[in-house]
Structure 1
Amino acid sequence: MERNQSQRMIGESSALSDVFDQVSQVAPLNRPILVVGERGTGKELIAERLHYLSSRWEGPFLKVNCGAISEALLDADLFGYEPGAFTGANKVNKGRFERADEGTLFLDELGNMSAQLQEKLLRVIEYGEFERLGGQKTLKVNVRIIAATNEHLPALAATGKFREDLLDRLAFDVITLPPLRSREDDIMRLAEHFAVSMSTELGWQVFPGFTAEVQEQLRKHPFYGNVRELKNIVERSVYRWGNAELEIAELVIDPFDSLWSPKGKHLQSSTNKAATIDSTIGFSEQVARYEVQLLKQALDQNDQHQGKASEALGLTYHQFRSQLRKHGIIGKDKL
């Protein structure tokens, strides 16, 4: 991989600046590093930054998702195999550890690694030694490990699901990435970056901008998918808007949101059944009761998760919270 900034992390918030300072400080040290954060926060980009700021920057930078393939395939992928190791293995195959020699190996979703592979990984970290699958010769490599997870590894270790000795070796230092909702100053900077890129892809001369209402909606959205979710929302909204002359005035947050989707039909039929006319009270009161019913139903169907409930109703997080306050479902002290 070439040393470039095409996949740089964008942002100037204090929370992200603190992360960059920590990365710059620990990158030159030849030690394993653990990168922790929610999905979509940029763990792989931090791993790249650690590699290219280290003395290994001219060496290989390889990466593997430990949760994407089975244990047997991951074993062969990491450590390689000899002829006859399994059916179809008819030649020597070098694993990622061999190919990453004198460089860096990024292990994503480390919490999904099996106990057997954790033991082999511990040996590589401690001694730089391993054997290929089906082999008997001990090989030595000089590889820096950067691991990433969105799991709480100390909790997994406490329940026996992750080796405590491996956690000790990996956690020379832990870089914890802030979620996007804690980087409010970066949201619009990122949104405009993604919007400009999509405008260019669409062949527009310029990006027409966002309306003030859309900007406010972006700032208030919880972004549980973080930067990845923001990128999808912005790019989807720009291309669906389809007008290079007018400011983007509508966000397409949920691409599944449709009256014709299975979820939409279910919600529509279930709410229709619950909506009955009560001639003993006025129209406004009946509407208010129906709104309360919708709000509570959305919360119940999303495990009381207000962000997901707001999306289910097609509301922004801010609008949903306002409705909860309006109907007394939550009080001002909980906002």
Structure 2
Amino acid sequence: MAERAQAHNLIGESAVFLEMLEHISLVAPLAKPVLVIGERGTGKELVAARLHYLSRRWDQPFLKLNCAAINENLLETELFGHEAGSFTGAAKRHLGRFELADGGSFFLDELANTSARVQEKLLRVIEYGEFERVGGNQSIKANVRLIAATNEDLPALAQQGRFRYDLLDRLAFDVITLPPLRVRPDDILKLAQHFAVAMTKELGRDYFAGFSKAAEQQLLDYSWPGNVRELKNVVERNVYRCAPDRMVSKMDFDPFTSPWRPRLTPPAAMTTGNSPAPSTSDGTALPLDFKQVTEQHEIGLIKRALQQGQFNQKKAAELLGLTYHQLRGYLKKYQLLKDEG
């Protein structure tokens, strides 16, 4: 029951989000494979759960597997199972996820991490509904609706020969692409309030005192590279650090911020001897502080765009290929708001 409730925990009212929900509702009843694509933290697993629980298979198994979390040698047995004695340590028969999910749905996350051999077997399951366990020769039937997810550009990987075109064709009966949080500004405060209230309950407090206007503006200005997952972490951390009866007045986005944070230093061997320090193709001497040089480069580009756009932030964002809210996040990050004029 908890998982079914989680499947409906997709919160938002922006146009792009509601369009995605409508897409999910349209494809959910079909017994066809679906490909879910989105950046990290956008909620691909929640979308997969919604697809399952809105389908006719809602009362059947819903299994999940993250391909990136399992060693490549073990992934095949986790997916398709193995027979006793098929390899060292295989003392007894092991049923794979496809066999266990028979009649239901199987969510396969980080699909781009699979090997060519696994992709070949996945193709057969989708096309013919059958497979063999590792070390076995008996075909096993499986009536499974596959929902696959990735944050990679699978068509580009297929062009590079790193992903099978025929598997991509079978998986992409329909593709649901999740909008990143930065294009859902109308949902940011709604999600933040939801996560804050939930964290308040978890802490055993009576009520959530709310966010100050300054804190709300910080939430809106930030670019959210980690999307909804990052928003949840940021809100929960700031709520628990705040006194129970106090409003959250300022947001702390980076938990690593500290004057005593250890920094990666270049190896001493690179700077010893009489040889000149190696340099990059643009003449920048190595070793260097990558973060500092990158930040200086980004600040320079932002200032140039602001000047060229006559300090109109929307024009500057267009010049940089960013959304307005992304640019605002960078201005806040680099404390450039005071320099706009």
1:102 aligns with 2:98: no
Distance 1:25 1:181 in 2: 25
- The AA in structure 2 aligned to 1:317 is Y
Task: Show the counterpart of 1:6.
Answer: 6
- 1:189 to 1:97, Cα distance in 2 relative to 1, 3 A: same
Structure 1 segments of 4+ aligned residues over 6 angstroms from their partners: 301-306
Deviation at 1:323, TM superposition (A): 1.6
Query: Alignment partner for residue 295 of structure 2, among 277, 296, 299?
Result: 299
Query: Which residue matches 1:244?
Result: 244
The Cα shift of 1:4 comes to 2.6
Q: How far apart in 1 are the matches of 2:298 and 2:202? A: 36
SS in 1 for 2:158: helix
Question: Where does residue 272 of structure 1 map in the other structure?
Answer: none
Secondary structure of the residue aligned to 2:193 is helix
1:262 pairs with 2:262 = yes
> Shift in Å at residue 298 of structure 1?
5.3
CA distance in 2, matches of 1:109, 1:325: 42
1:317 paired residue among 308, 327, 330: 330
Aligned counterpart, 1:219: 220
How big is the shift at 1:304? 8.8
Q: Is the 8 A contact 1:299 1:305 kept in 2?
A: no
- 1:85 is paired with a residue whose SS is coil
SS state at 2:85 partner: coil
- Tell me which residue corresponds to 2:273: none
Aligned residue number for residue 125 of structure 1: 126
Q: Please state how far the C-alpha of 1:319 moved relative to its aligned partner.
A: 2.4
Would the alpha carbon gap of residues 27 and 305 (structure 1) be closer, same or farther in structure 2, given more than 3 Å must change? Answer: farther
Deviations 1:105-157, CA, capped at 9 Å, x for gaps: 10000011111100010001000111101111111111010000000000000
- SS of the residue 2:336 aligns to: helix
**CA–CA distance in structure 2, aligned partners of residues 52 and 88 of structure 1:** 37
One-letter identity of the residue aligned with 1:215: E
Q: Deviations over 1:138-193 (max 9, x none)?
A: 11111010000000000000000000000000000000000011111110111011
Contact 2:223/2:329 (8 A) holds in 1? no
Distance in 1 between residues matched to 2:49 and 2:214, nearest whole Å: 36
Which stretch of the first structure deviates more once superposed, 5-14 or 205-214? 5-14
Structure 1, gaps ≥5 residues long: 267-294, 307-314, 329-335
Question: In 2 relative to 1, CA 325–126 (structure 1 residues): closer, same or farther, beyond 3 Å?
Answer: farther
Is this contact kept in 2: 1:40–1:227, CA < 8 A?
Answer: yes
Q: How many residues align?
A: 290
Q: Which segment drifts farther, 172-181 or 8-17?
A: 8-17
Query: Are the equivalent residues in 2 in contact too, given 1:71–1:113 (CA < 8 A)?
Result: yes
Q: What is the identity, as a one-letter code, of the residue corresponding to 1:162?
A: F
How many angstroms apart in 1 are the aligned matches of 2:2 and 2:84? 33
In structure 2, distance between residues paired with 1:208 and 1:221: 22
* Distance (Å, rounded) in 1 between the aligned partners of 2:85 and 2:13: 53
Secondary structure, aligned partner of 1:6: helix
Residue 187 of structure 1 aligns to a residue in which SS?
A: helix
Corresponding letter in the other structure for 1:31: K
Match in the other structure for 2:339:
326
Percent sequence identity over matched residues? 56
Q: Could you tell me whether the CA contact under 8 Å between 1:63 and 1:108 is conserved in 2?
A: yes
Question: What CA distance in whole angstroms lies between the structure 2 residues aligned with 1:6 and 1:56?
Answer: 17
Secondary structure of the corresponding residue to residue 244 of structure 2:
coil
Give the C-alpha shift of residue 207 in structure 1: 0.2
Matches of residues 1-335 of structure 1 in structure 2 within 5 Å? 4-7=4-7, 8-241=9-242, 243-263=243-263, 297=293, 299-300=295-296, 317-320=330-333, 323=336, 326=339
Q: Assess, with a 3 A threshold, how the Cα gap between structure 1 residues 255 and 173 changes in structure 2: closer, same or farther.
A: same
Alpha-carbon RMSD: 2.4
Tell me what 2:274 maps to.
none
Structure 2, unaligned runs of 5 or more: 266-290, 303-327
**CA contact 1:3–1:52 (8 Å) conserved in 2:** no
- Structure 2 residue matching 1:185: 3-state secondary structure: helix
Amino acid at match of 2:336: Q
